[in-house]
Amino acid sequence: MITAIKPATVPLRFSLPIGGVAGTSFKPEHLPAILEAGPQAGFFEVHAENYMGAGGPPHRALETIRRDHPLSLHGVSMSIGGPQPLDKTHLARFRSLVARYQPALVSEHLAWSTHETSFFNDLLPLPYTEATLACVCDHIDQVQEAIRRPLLLENPSTYLTFRESAMSETDFIRGIVARTGCGLLLDINNVFVSATNHGFPALDYLADFPLAHVGEIHLAGHAEQTDDDGNLLLIDSHDGPVADAVWKLFEIIIARRGPVPTLIEWDSSIPAWPILRAEAAAAQAILDRCKLAAATEDRHAA
Amino acid sequence: MRRDADLGFAAAFAPPLLDPAREVPTAVAGRNGKPAGRRYDVYRNNVTVSLIETLAAIYPAVQRITGPDFFRAMARFHVRSSPPASPLLFDYGRDFPDFVANYAHAHDMPWLADVARIERAWLDAYHAADALPLAPALLSTIALERLGGLVLTPHPATRIVRSPYAAVTIFAANRDSAPVARIDASTPEDALITRAEFDVVVRHLPPGGAVFAASLMSGQPLGAAAMAAFDASPEFDIAANIAGLIEAGAFTSLAAGDA
């Protein structure tokens, strides 16, 4: 049973969908610099859990940002990929944030983070089987039912595989989309990280990914380690600039898919605001080039 | 119908995350079916390090006092024995001050747990519900004979931490980056933590003030709270304490009690 909460809602000031706009993670330490620069064209994404307190400075900052910019609400701990039932209290909190802030985008992960009563604060992997597919779809149905809108589900970055997996990740994700009608958040850095870690071509994965359902793209930096055999092992660290190879994949995907909202994700070793904004501007330039190319094609066709 | 046998992956994957003595699960693999080894350790590291960093973010003064190596070793023990029970990380570490109090290597810093208690209260005040504090002028409108029966409603952010040590001074000196002068830790101090609007403020409470404020917060009428405070400390100054609490925004409303 979900407790009925009627929070004050902030009126929508942006027509949906927001289209080919670049955005950044919102970090409270950037708020003064953002406000000083005045309203910008981009959107801001926040981790939902950071705004699940009752009141105080976090909500004030988010209200301030939301007044002039589209918002993306990104959940990181719903544990949709876990076998146990969703935490109803957490789902109610998530729903109440969606109702209060009316975000342009709402997303969560194909991963799990809670087992029994322990919360592990990481996006943990799952096997891809008929049983886990049914379970994940059941959880997404519950989330979409609660928030009354489609959820964008993010593809994971992984460091290992489950021996029991019986289908590919892209087959699994296509199955989810077909059964739940959810949208997808395509994290291109995650694709690059997983492709490197498991030794498959990122472009093969992307060719197999249901691009038509992608409602948002994530770009982020990664770190390098090695596994026991000395193979390169990439870590999805979100602590630096987007890698050249990931930018290249992004250009290919945008040319194929058309412009979609694109986020520069930067969650640790956070740089000064102008550096983060410059990364978003680089993404925006690629999105704009694609829009221009499409417009030119239209003129030629006319 | 879901077959639970097919969904046992989390039960196999989760326990070794915080227990380095446990074997890497055999249900997972690296390339070409090899054991997952270091690849599984990435998850172990993500979980442990991110939770240690969560505690470091909640308890920055404790970390400054102990230094990062001491803090991380202490926090690692706590993370492994008491992982979070909620995805709201700002709620994590409620039992960390008690853990610090019993941590053998911290026995020569007996005030450290109280500094942690103030930091925990600081974060609770930071995230507490917003509410308008009681207007100071309101109290002066109450007839003198009714004052003793007044009952005050605490602001959702208000917290009190009592310490037999100078925990408030030590806390304040170490939430800053300025050099810390020598502090006599042996003076008992009580902290009042409030957030009238958006800034959390930590104040020293004068003698008897903690008993007075705690009595009021528990719903005792003003007269009874003052009596309790006098019993605790003959130096208790009722006018200064009422004015101080109201000015700090510790309460939101008042009502004539049954007395």
What is the predicted pLDDT for the residue at B142? 84
Nearest partner of A179 among A201, A157, A150, A211, judged by Cα: A150
CA dist., res. A131 & res. A167, Å (int): 12
Helix (H) or strand (E) holding A142: helix A130-147
CA dist., res. B200 & res. B121, Å (int): 10
What is the predicted pLDDT for the residue at A127? 98
pLDDT tens profile B116-151: 999 999 999 999 999 999 998 888 888 888 889 999
- Interchain proximity A121–B89, CB inside 8 Å: yes
Helix (H) or strand (E) holding B194: strand B189-194
Q: Strand ranges (DSSP E) for chain A? A: 22-25, 43-47, 71-74, 105-109, 112-115, 118-124, 152-154, 161-162, 183-187, 214-220, 223-226, 232-235, 262-265
Mean per-residue pLDDT, A116-136: 97
pLDDT tens profile B37-86: 999 999 999 999 999 999 999 999 999 999 999 999 999 999 999 999 99
What is the predicted pLDDT for the residue at A301? 66
Measured between CA atoms, how close is B252 to chain A, in angstroms? 15
CA dist., res. B115 & res. B66, Å (int): 12
B67 exposure class (CB count in 10 Å sphere: 0-12, 13-18, 19+):
exposed
Q: What percent of chain A has pLDDT over 90?
A: 87
- Interchain proximity A56–B28, CB inside 8 Å: no
Mean per-residue pLDDT, A169-188: 98
Q: Answer whether residue B227 shows pLDDT above 50.
A: yes
Distance of alpha carbon A6 from its chain centroid, rounded? 26
Q: Answer whether residue A5 shows pLDDT above 50.
A: no
- Cβ distance A7 to A100 under 8 Å? yes
pLDDT tens profile A22-63: 999 999 999 999 999 888 889 999 999 999 999 999 999 999
pLDDT tens profile B157-197: 999 999 999 999 999 999 988 888 889 999 999 999 999 99
Question: How would you write A186-242 as a 3-class SS string?
Answer: EEHHHHHHHHHHHCCCHHHHHHCCCHHHEEEEEEECCEEEECCCCCEEEECCCCCCC
* Chain A residues 146-175 with a CB less than 8 Å from chain B: 159-164
Lowest mean pLDDT among A177-186, A209-218, A250-259, B250-259: B250-259
CA dist., res. B224 & res. B244, Å (int): 18
Alpha helices per DSSP H over chain B: 9-13, 38-58, 60-66, 68-81, 96-101, 112-127, 136-140, 167-174, 209-217, 222-232, 238-248
Of B46, B54, B90, the CB nearest to A53: B90
- Interchain proximity B28–A162, CB inside 8 Å: yes
Residues of chain B contacting residue A52, judged by C-beta atoms under 8 Å apart = 88
